[in-house]
Amino acid sequence: MPTKHIENTTASPLFIGGKLIPPGDGRDIDVRLLPPEHREGHAPAAPSAAPNLAELVQALHAKPVKEIVAELPGLTQEAFDLLCQAEKEHAKPRASLLTALEAERIRRANAALEAEAAAAYQQQLANLTPEQLAAIGEKLPAA
């Protein structure tokens, strides 16, 4: 039976292959009893890859409509578009979810228009003189 010599270089006792190895000591352990991290040719386990966006959207799509709707405002545009596509391609699209997705699309478009209008207004204010700003009840825009 092949063995491998394992040394304990830590300050604590180790238990490997059913044997106690005191600090600073070593033991020959049957290779069949060695845990993977002590075997020859063992590569450390790679950290599990984080799920990609499509996998996250698929997981969200599998949830009940009520839970999906609660998460819609926090989705990026790309995730939102993938979710819309997944629901439209679903064998039985859920009407309530399609309605919620369309409402979210409208809310996002409205928010974008409001942000654009606010930016345009601030640009107009930046071109006014202090007297003109006072006449309309505005202050100098912050630089």
- Residue 17 CA to residue 29 CA, distance in Å, equals 6
Instruction: Give SS3 for 115.
Output: helix
Q: Decide if 34 contacts 60 (C-beta within 8 A).
A: no
- Residue 128 CA to residue 123 CA, distance in Å, equals 9
- Residue 17 CA to residue 32 CA, distance in Å, equals 8
Would the pLDDT of 39 be above 80?
no
Which residue would you say has higher pLDDT here, 49 or 84?
84
Single pTM value for the model: 0.58
Task: Read off the amino acid at residue 34.
Answer: L
The domains of the chain are located at: 3-38, 53-135
